[in-house]
Structure 1
């Protein structure tokens, strides 16, 4: 089982944007697809997040807050269903 932080890092590394207004199901699908593309290794996504934080610190915090909230909601919905 992955932590919320790990899931958020995977979501962060996708091309999705907060303005996309995605459903919890779509968030989970995107996380699964990205994780698959990374060979199932969340640390590969984490390295991308670190690079983005260094390259674009002005947008990093906002995007990570979105990713954390989005996966928390998406996976809470999955557990409740």
Structure 2
């Protein structure tokens, strides 16, 4: 179950407006993830991730790496 939750969080951060260059805090990341899931829903986040990987695979890989690292940092138990 935790892996699925982490996947949704990563997808939400990936499609959010938050940028790595902003050097967001854990609190900002958590808030952005929750707001993005509320706005788009889980399926909407997944759809946009797929679209970005289809249209911009070169950029999407780096952004997803950042999203995974940031989610681990922000939601560490």
TM-score of the pair, normalised by structure 1: 0.86
When the two chains are superposed, the root-mean-square deviation of aligned CA atoms in Å is: 1.2
Work out the number of aligned pairs and report it: 75
Match of 1:53 in 2: 53
CA positional deviation for 1:51 = 0.1
Match of 1:32 in 2: 34
In the TM superposition, what whole-angstrom CA distance separates every residue of 1:19-55 from its partner, at most 9, and x where no partner exists? 11000000000001111112xx312100000000011
Match of 1:73 in 2: 73
> What are structure 2's unaligned runs of at least 5 residues?
none
TM-score of the pair, normalised by structure 2: 0.90
Q: Which has the higher helix share?
A: 2
- State the 4+ residue runs in structure 1 displaced beyond 3 angstroms: none
